[in-house]
Amino acid sequence: MRAKRIRAFGLSTAVAAAAVTAATAVPAHAAGTKLTFDVADSVQISAKPVTPGQFDENLHLRIGRTGTVAAKDVKVAFDTAGLAGVAQLTVPNCTTSGTVVTCDAHTIDYDSINITQNPWLSAVAGAKPGSSGKLHVTLTASNAEPAEKDIRVDVGGPDFKTKDLAPQKGVKPGTVVAPAVEFANAGDVAATRLVVAIDAVSGLDFKKRPSNCEFAAVGEGAWNQKSWPGETMAVCTLDVALAPGTVHTLDPLQFGVTGSAWYTFTDISLYATEDAQYSSIPRWRADHRFQRGTDAPLTVRATEDPALLAAPRHSYDNRVELEVAAANTADFSALGAWNPADGGKRGTLTVGYRNAGPASIFYRSGNDVVKVQVQFPKGVTVIKVPTGCTPKTWENGRQVEHPDKYLCDTSMWISSGTRKTFDFGISLDAGTTRATVPVTLQDETSLYGGGATAGNLTFDPNHANEALSVVLGSEPSGSIPTGAATPTSGSTASTPPVVVRPTGSASASAAPVTASPSPSASTGGGALAFTGASGLGTITAAGTGAVLIGGAVFLATRRRKGAHR
């Protein structure tokens, strides 16, 4: 069901402090360029020695640079001298000299990027719960100011693992889905507190707001990403004793499926503290104002599940996700209009789309929901290309340059009521009359599969308006509706809501995965990634994160899974 990694991006690098001596020449720093860390002040690991899987990590480290100049010859060095008798560090594909592990990060031209070598901390044999050590990390470059950081490594503590939730398919708008999250304390000691972080994407609405939870909402374009839907975040704090080796279930959380839902989801994460490693809560609290709920408090009840306790551990398995595919549709229409000038020898061709709803469409793959394709005939020359449009097309699943076909980008999230247009500057060759320009809406299936025909938007039952032709001549033609589309009302009222309680684990094939034409990166499942930590710096929840893999930079979408509905 869910790829075991952090939203959006698994992923390592640097230079030994021992290698930076007084005799080393001081590099010439580019103006304003300084290296930066984004990592927790402390990390908690299991007292049991654990060997990581191939792509597992339990030290999440992001690095970056300030300014606009790329940092070059970047190295990350982990000095493990302070971990003696407590923990050992393994960082694949890096070099070790004495107590220092050094990794190359090459060139960094991002404010924040994951390192890719998957650092893993494991307790040494005999380490006692409650013991701690220090890991010193140094970040250097040939043209930037260095940075360094001490990270406290604590042995032992509570650690939560969750059981997957089956995705909900064909759910009618107006239904209430009520997942009961089952989890175990797989740690070494009892927890005295359970912190639940809930991130519900647009299309799901909290129907109950417990009094021990706090809520904040953010509109579309969250996290400075215009293509991201809105979200409602909740932080619930339960003062409850949870012994190691016990299994519990949260009261069913109640989410209403709204009239605009098509594909949506909620992330639910469990921590012993708000500032645990990987927790988004500190960032949420810094950016948003929370209000306490007024309904009955959220509680837990003890249950039995030997299979959950015995199941293999994976990175980030303190998180569970509920996916909801609503029985809903959206009506997308192609737009096109010609406004001539100079007797029709030139003019402006306006193309675009609008979504009349009722559904807002979200492609979690990161691909655009639709692309507007324009094909220009002979005798027509494009003299001004609008932002977001390029002369290219897809042929047999590959993107190729094309002098006469233009694709205009949209977004992976298109809300109900959205209208977007692009203005092309056009000139017509002498003797060209009544040239016709086809405008079609394409989706990832038609483009990447080589079909490139209209009428294939799977969420739209009305294919008739997904294509049109605009006649270029001395007279205006076509029309563009003014303002945004008026969303069609969703069927959310009149009848009592149906309550759906997800049960059972989700299988890996429960939700279809569509391959993205652009490279992406994710980390696979493996051994235990201990979740506790304190003093977390801000983990950037950007919609798109750059991930350095083998020297090449790829884009990974914010969420943990490269799949849309």
pLDDT tens digits for range 139-190: 999 999 999 999 999 998 899 999 999 999 999 999 999 999 999 998 888 9
Bridge partner list, 443 = none
Give the end of a domain, one of 452, 479, 506.
479
Instruction: Give 432: exposed, middle or buried? Use CB within 10 Å, 0-12, 13-18, 19+.
Output: middle
Distances from the Cα of 203 to the Cα of 174, 264, 328, angstroms: 10, 6, 11
Calpha distance 272→244 (Å, rounded): 12
Q: Does the residue 484 lie in any domain?
A: no
For residue 302, the surrounding DSSP H or E stretch is strand 300-303
Measured CA to CA, the distance from residue 318 to residue 162 in angstroms comes to 5
Residue 132: strand, helix, or coil? strand
Does pTM surpass 0.85? no
Residue 302's alpha-carbon distances to 66, 164, 308, 391, in angstroms, are: 49, 18, 13, 60
Name the β-bridge partners of 231: 201, 218
Give, in order, the Cα–Cα distances in Å from 151 to each of 40, 121, 154, 333.
7, 12, 10, 54
| Domain housing 469 | 331-479
Is 76 in contact with 138 (CB distance < 8 Å)?
yes
Q: Could you say which of 425, 458, 479 is where a domain stops?
A: 479
Amino acid at 426: I
Contacts of 121 (CB under 8 A, 6+ apart): 43, 45, 58, 59, 83, 87, 88, 89, 135, 153
CATH number of domain containing 323: 2.60.40.1510
Looking at the fold, whether 342 and 448 belong to one and the same domain comes out as yes
Q: Please, what is the end-to-end C-alpha distance for the chain in angstroms?
A: 12
**Whether residues 92 and 214 fall in one domain:** yes
CATH (domain of 346): 2.60.40.290
pLDDT at 336 over 90: yes
Number of domains, the chain: 2
Quick check: 527 pLDDT over 80? no
- Domain membership flag for residue 381: yes
Calpha distance 265→164 (Å, rounded): 13
> What is the rounded CA–CA span in Å between residue 529 and residue 71?
30
Range from 38-47, 299-308, 402-411 that averages highest in pLDDT: 299-308
Residue 346: strand pairing partners: 341, 427
Does residue 15 sit in the same domain as residue 132?
yes
Q: Is 295 found in the same domain as 263?
A: yes
pLDDT digits (tens, 9 = 90+) for 73-88: 999 999 999 999 999 9
84 near 5, Cβ under 8 Å? no
Q: Is the pLDDT of residue 519 over 50?
A: no
pLDDT tier at 303, thresholds 50, 70, 90: very high
User: Residue 339: beta bridge partners?
Assistant: 348
Q: What is the pLDDT of residue 12?
A: 28
310 & 450 share domain: no
- Round to whole Å and give the CA distance between 205 and 253: 11
Edge to edge, the sheet with strand 263-271 lists: 168-171, 319-326, 263-271, 194-201, 231-238, 213-218, 291-292
How do residues 87-122 score in pLDDT, each as one tens digit? 999 999 999 999 999 999 999 988 888 888 889 999
- C-alpha distances in Å from residue 353, one per residue of 195, 263, 333: 43, 20, 6
Looking at 457, 479, 501, which one is the last position of a domain? Answer: 479
Same domain flag for 278 and 398: no
Residue 485 lies in a domain: no
